Amino acid sequence: MGITVMGFMNKIGYLFKEGFRSIAIHGFMSFASVTIIIACLVIMGSFSLLAVNIDAVIDKLESENEMLAFVDETYTQNQAMALEGELTAVPNVSKVKFITREEAMSEFAKDYENNSLFNEIEASVFRDRYVIYLDDISLMADTKVQLEQVKGIADVSAQLDISKGFVTTRNIVGAVSLVLIVILFVVSVFIMSNTVKLTTFGRREEIAIMKMVGATNSFIRTPFIIEGLTLGVIGSGLALALEWGIYTLITDKIMTSIAGSYVSVLSFNTLALPLALVYMGVGIVVGAFGGTIAIRNYLKV
């Protein structure tokens, strides 16, 4: 009996129907699988959101970490102002802000207004200067060297230790997040695979019968994959909704507390799309892999 087009369509329809039917028939195991996916995704997602927020805070602090480029004393203010274009052209410089020696003095006086030692200080003591903001703080040392080479710049002050601290913190947070996310992902696949294994253990006889009547491995595997995929998608959708609730609750608490004055958190709306895509991707991969791995042993007949 050859396979006709109609036969093929019926077969595809049948495999999908079997996948969905199996979810309904094995209700408890389906519920367990979805719950496990939700738990894994929410744990993994919460940690990722924490890491993203830490990263955003570091970003903000980095952007506030500035360098000062002091103009040669012999330059007039006009000559000093003319350096702006050249400084902006230095790689990694995002923007520059010119500050006259008078502005610098007034800033200094404001900082030390209660200190009589500096009361009589004159503007000539200060130099015209540029506040330099960088694109990438990790390249601060290189940028400092390049700024020093600009004719008319006498000295560059940079807090290299602080920038190194930021870079180190970011690297540690990034590495720890990555390791934890990978571990949680592997654990999710493992748990999911074991859950589907429990389901398939009860169905090994059914698989053996399928093999004996001449079913190909893909015919047997497809409903399990459809089942895993469906559970993965349902689980990831519910996990996203739960994550939204948890995140909104926690960030509202932070923003209305004293901590809200010092840190800012990203709104869920800005994170929802990437998070949804990651959840969906993980749900699909975990579901499909779980289904495939679980029945692998039973196909060797």
Residues engaged in binding another protein (CB under 8 A)? 1-4, 6-8, 10-11, 14, 25, 205-206, 208-216, 219, 301
Q: Which is nearer to another protein, 14 or 98 (CB)?
A: 14
- Tokens coding 300: 């060797």
Residue 300's SS3 state is: coil
Minimum Å gap between C-beta 204 and another protein is 12
Question: At its nearest, how many Å lie between another protein and the CB of residue 17?
Answer: 10
| Residues 105 and 126 sit within 8 Å (Cβ to Cβ) | yes
Distance of closest approach, residue 300 Cβ to another protein, in angstroms? 9
The minimum distance between CB 3 and another protein, in angstroms, equals: 3
Q: Which CB contacts under 8 angstroms, 24+ apart, belong to 62-65?
A: 62/137, 62/163, 62/166, 63/133, 65/134, 65/137, 65/159, 65/162, 65/163, 65/166
Residue (148 or 206) nearer to another protein, CB: 206
**40 or 220, CB closer to another protein?**
220
Taking the C-alpha atoms of residue 157 and residue 248, their distance in angstroms, rounded to an integer, is: 42
Cβ distance to another protein smaller for residue 1 or 117: 1
User: With contact defined as beta carbons under 8 Å apart, do 212 and 90 qualify?
Assistant: no
Nearer to another protein, 226 or 239 (CB): 226
- For residue 16 the two structure tokens come to 């999908």
Query: Closest separation between CB of residue 214 and another protein, Å?
Result: 4
